[in-house]
Structure 1
Amino acid sequence: MTITLFDVPSKFEGQAFSPSTWRIRYILNMRNIPYKTEWIELPDIESRSKGLGIAPTGLKPDGTPFYTIPFIHDPSTGIYLSDSTHIAEYLEKTYPGPSSIFPHNTLGLQSPFADLFFSTALPALWKFIIPSLYEILNPASGAYIRATREKLFGQPLEEMTPKGALGDAEWAKFREGLGKVDVWYSKTSGPYLLGDTISWADIVVVAALTLMKVVWGEDSQQWKDISSWHGGRWGGLVDDFKKYTNVV
């Protein structure tokens, strides 16, 4: 039976960008688990989730439930499940592969990795990438991003990207953030955080890098910069996952 993966579309047919959903898409593709994508615009996620009885993944500042992608429906078990880490754990148990993404009982250690990675590596990224993300979204999702991110950052999208000397300084901060993660990788004996084994932590990193490559494009100066940093580590990781990037 075929799993349904719920994701947000872009203007480009069949092009996925959400890093949270790419985490799950990579696992499905790596394990050859049959699935299909159902596309939902950002402002429709809450109503669709409620309609399917899918649990919220957090709370909004006002204390009301917050619903996010990804979520899945697996008809073989009847489950509807949200939150990428919970989905990954479910897929690991229900559809085990030849190698585990949580090897050596590392589920407890790896579960908080996404939050750690985002807070360490990506704080300086968002003002650069959000205006570019807006450009590839359909009107409904674009309007949602504009309203929510302009409120969050206190400035219009058109003024959000740092320019000039400030832009250079903020871009350098982004590189420094990824540099901290590069140190983690440099302490292993292989290309991945657990050596020669792809784990959940690597999937989290590559999913975020995939957002950057998709939004800016492979030939953009931004991606050329990122993919070359730290000895080409980030471009190399994305290349390693290229065979798992199909969108169905």
Structure 2
Amino acid sequence: MSNAPAKTILLYDIPGNCSPDKAYSPSVWKTRLVLNYKKLLHKTEWVEYPDIAPLAQKIGASPCGQKPDGGPLYAVPILYDPVTESCYTDSFDIALHLEAAYTNAPSVFPNRTKALIRAWDEIWMEKAGRPMYQLILSSVHAQLSQASQTYFRETREAKFGTLEAPPDTWEKLEHGLSSIDAYMAQSRFVMGEQMTYADMVMAGWLICVRRVLGMESDGWRRIEQWHNGRWKRFVDEFAHLEYV
């Protein structure tokens, strides 16, 4: 299949108010970075939290998990590819689809590295993604629309008890990023000089945190100075891909 899809790919995302382009979700940024890296024609469609499940059911998108009560859980990103006339959910699965469907586009899973990158995705979430999420919960809530704020608070408080980060969250995040820094050693990217989906996983989260906390915030300045400025340098690598 060619690099350019015959029709525009639709990417569904949640709007926020922390940036002019509305985009903040780390999971959707992972997908958006892949689309921009591969130069695939796409358009963002905005959907509020309470409207995600009805939309997914309407267009035939699969649930991405289960709610605590056992019901289907729907979340963004949701991608509709008009070439295959099908929907895809979960950032990793979407990346795999785009890799397989658009073979003339630059690869984000080079040299049969899918299993390795999936493992890295899990390591990142364990070490850094979870504490990052807890760190920004209240800030994410604050920049949502009223309708999404209500949904977000109800669902997140049911899961975490509160939107406020535990006292040791900063310590956990710094420790987790220290582990990632050590794994990467002196490499520019996870696999050396070549950008892959493993890097887009990390960049998606870092872009989210920077946008939600604010580029000039004490929190973001704290993160970008850790580990000899690695995280600022790293996220700067994606500046040319950070657009909606």
Cα pair distance change 1:68/1:183, threshold 3 Å: same
1:33 positional shift: 0.8
1:136 aligns with 2:164: no
Structure 2 unaligned residues grouped into runs of 5+: 1-6
Structure 1 unaligned residues grouped into runs of 5+: none
Report the TM-score when normalising by structure 2. 0.91
Residue pair 1:121, 1:180 contacting (<8 A) in 2 also: no
User: What is the SS of the residue equivalent to 1:123?
Assistant: helix
Cα pair distance change 1:70/1:98, threshold 3 Å: closer
**Paired position in structure 2 for 1:241:** 238
**Aligned equivalents of 2:230, 2:104: Cα separation in 1:** 26
Cα pair distance change 1:246/1:97, threshold 3 Å: farther
Cα pair distance change 1:58/1:161, threshold 3 Å: closer
1:123 positional shift: 3.3
**Paired position in structure 1 for 2:64:** 57
Q: Deviations over 1:54-80 (max 9, x none)?
A: 111111222211111111111122121
Identical amino acids, percent of aligned pairs: 36
Residue pair 2:134, 2:169 contacting (<8 A) in 1 also: no
**Aligned equivalents of 2:190, 2:137: Cα separation in 1:** 28
**Aligned equivalents of 1:78, 1:153: Cα separation in 2:** 37
CA RMSD of aligned residues (A): 1.6
**Paired position in structure 1 for 2:12:** 6
**Paired position in structure 2 for 1:117:** 124
Give the number of equivalent residue pairs: 237
**Aligned equivalents of 2:64, 2:218: Cα separation in 1:** 35
1:203 positional shift: 0.4
1:170 positional shift: 3.2
Residue pair 1:72, 1:80 contacting (<8 A) in 2 also: yes
Residue pair 1:26, 1:203 contacting (<8 A) in 2 also: yes
Report the TM-score when normalising by structure 1. 0.90
**Aligned equivalents of 2:55, 2:96: Cα separation in 1:** 23
1:13 positional shift: 4.5
**Paired position in structure 2 for 1:190:** 187
Residue pair 1:49, 1:55 contacting (<8 A) in 2 also: yes
**Aligned equivalents of 2:177, 2:187: Cα separation in 1:** 18
Mapping for residues 154-169 of structure 1, pairs under 5 Å: 154-155=161-162, 157=163, 160-162=164-166, 166=167, 169=168
